[in-house]
Each structure stands twice: as structure tokens, then as C-alpha cells.
Amino acid sequence: MADTTDTTEQLGDDVELTSYTSESDGPVGDAEPARRPSASAPGAGTGRRKQAIARVRIVPGTGEWKINGRTLEEYFPNKVHQQIVAEPFTVLELDGAYDVLVRVHGGGPSGQAGAVRLGVARSLNGVDPELNRDTLKKAGFLTRDARVPERKKAGLKKARKAPQYSKR
């Protein structure tokens, strides 16, 4: 006990003690590193979800959406689907920085919204991987959801539904 107090007394005022941790958030001194603007280049990506396939192209612009020739509000009238589709831009704080052109087919509205989100995330990742990839990956937007509808089997009415059993 006495040894530790002696060593701190010997160090004096000219030495400043600092603490170190393996879980540092960024450079020492800054509370949060300044976010560098994303590269203003066009990008493209393909997204799939259930039976839906979306081809997405983003170009620097004013935030205008064109999905199969219609606006975002016309194509996805459900606010939840609009929010799902725009999530990659919200997470990266790039709302209104890019115009989005999408061709989507197959599946229903929910699957198409998921496919468009994956396509947008992949295209943003293609524009500037070193800046955008970590954030998109942590949010789970770069992972393809591999779940697809189960196929119908012979002798059954649907994938699992069997005909009603009759004893007599």
C-alpha cells in the first residue's frame, strides 16, 4: 500500500495519467468523429425478398423516387412500406441526397419493399464502402433474407395442408 503512494508522489505534477480501454469509439479528444460526406457518384444494386426482385439505381439529386415509373407514395401507399424502403438513407443521414430509380417485379407489397430496401442499401454500399458499409451492416440492411415460400407437395392441398381424413 505504501509503495503505490510513494510512486505517485515521485511522478509529481508533470505526468498526466490517462485511462485506456480496448473499446474506444474513435480518436482521442473528439466526442464523435466528424462525418465525411458520402461520395456523390451513381450506384446500383439488386435486392431480393421472398418472390420480389428489385433493380435499384441511385444518382446524386434531390431525393426524388421513381418506382416502376410512379412516385414512392403512389407505389407504396402504406406508410410502413415507405419507411422500410427509405431506412438506409435515414440511417446514413443522406435523406434527399440521391434520386432513386427502381424496377421491381414479383411478390407482394411487403416483399417488394424489402427487396427495394436491400437494393438501396447495396447501391449505397457500392458508392462509398469504407464510409457506409459498417453502418448498413450493423443495421442489418446488407443481409439477404433467404426465407422463401415453401413449395406445394404432391398429395397435399398446399405446402403442409393435407386433405381431411375420413374414417369411413
Is residue 92 in a domain? Answer: yes
Looking at the 3D structure of the chain, how many domains does it have? 1
- Is residue 5 situated within a structural domain? no
pLDDT recorded at residue 129: 86
- Tens digits of residue pLDDT in 101-144: 999 999 999 999 999 999 999 999 998 888 889 999 999 999 99
Q: What whole-number distance in Å separates Cα of residue 62 and Cα of residue 100?
A: 10
Q: What is the pLDDT of residue 86?
A: 92
pTM to 2 decimal places: 0.72
Q: Is residue 168 part of a domain?
A: no
Residue 66, domain member (yes or no): yes
Residue 11 lies in a domain: no
| Residue 115, CA distances (Å) to 6, 91, 127, 160 in order | 65, 17, 19, 26
In the chain, pLDDT over 70 holds for what percent of residues? 77
Say how far apart CA 120 and CA 141 lie, in whole Å.
9
Residue 62 domain boundaries: 45-139
CATH number at residue 57: 3.30.230.10
